[in-house]
Amino acid sequence: MTTNPAVSISSLTKSYGSKQVLRGLDLKVPAGGVLALLGPNGAGKTTTVEILQGLRRRDGGAVTVLGEDPQRSSRAWRARIGVVSQASTDMGDLTVGEAVAHVARFYTDPADVAATIERVGLADDAATRASRLSGGRRRRLDVALAIIGRPELLFLDEPTTGFDPEARREFWGLVEDLSADGTTVLLTTHYLDEAAHLADDVAIVLGGRIAARGTPEDLARGEGELTVSWTEDGVGRSLRTTAPTAVVRGLMSRLAGPGEEVPGLRITAPSLEERYLELVAAHEAAARTAALAPAA
C-alpha cells in the first residue's frame, strides 16, 4: 500500500456569489481506508466531494486526488476513480449484464463482467432490466458500474438512503469487502451508525471547515466522559462524568440496598451520533451568537 494519501486538501475555499461555503478546509484521506465525511446540509461536504471528483472548480487552496489535481485531470485519472451518486436512473432499459458490459468497454483493463456482477450479489438478476430492480438491488448495480474499472478510490454518496435494515447490512458487507481488497472509500452519509460501522476515520464538516476528525471510537469518547444513570426516590437520574468510579462509589454509600446494588445503575459511553449532534448544536449556537453580535 502506498504511503501517499489518496486525497490531500489544503486551505480549500469555495464561494457561490456572496456565500462562502468552504473556508479553508484541510483534509487527508489515507490510501486503502474508509473515511466518512459527515455534516449537516449546507456544511460544505457535497461541494468538497464535487471538487474532489473534478465536477466543480475551487476558488483557492490545493487539492490532489491520487496524485493529480482534479481540475486538470486526465482521462487516465478518471479511470482510477469510481462514483456512486445519490440517485441514478440511467440505462434502465438495459439488463444488469448489458449495463455492466457497456460500461466495461470504457476501460482498458476492466474487471471481469460476470465476476463483478456476482461480487455485488446480482448474479441472479444478470438478465433483469435495471428499471425493474428494487432500490437496494439498483444500488448494487450502481456499485458494479463504479468498480468495473478497478478504481483505486471509490466515492459513495448517501449509498443506503431508503434501504431497509437488511439491505443496509448487506451493502455494508460489500463496502467492507472492497476496503479489504485495498480500495480507498470516501463515504458521505447521514446515518451515524453507518459511519461508525464502516469508517476507519470520520471527518465532520461544519461551517466549511473540518470541525473534528478521528476514529469513530475516539470521536464518540470525546473528553472521556461517561454517563452514570441510576434510580433515586423512584426517579431516573443521570450524570455525565470523567470519574465514573467515584460517582458509583458515592451512590453505593448512599443508595445501595440488599446485595449492595444501586437501583437502575448503568454506565454508558456516548455514541458517535450523540457527539455529532453535540458538535452541530454548539456550532449552530455559536453562529447565532455571531449573527446577533453588533458590528465592530
What's the pTM value of the predicted model, to 2 decimals?
A: 0.84
Say whether pLDDT at 1 is over 50: no
Distance CA 197, CA 36 (A): 10
CB 63 within 8 A of CB 9: yes
DSSP three-state, residue 233: coil
Residue range 58-77, pLDDT digits in tens? 999 999 999 999 999 888 99
Distance CA 54, CA 52 (A): 5
Residue range 40-49, pLDDT digits in tens? 988 999 999 9
| CA atoms within a 13 Å half-sphere pointing along the CA-CB vector of 234 | 0
- Cell numbers describing residue 219: 470521536
Residue range 184-202, pLDDT digits in tens? 999 999 899 999 999 999 9
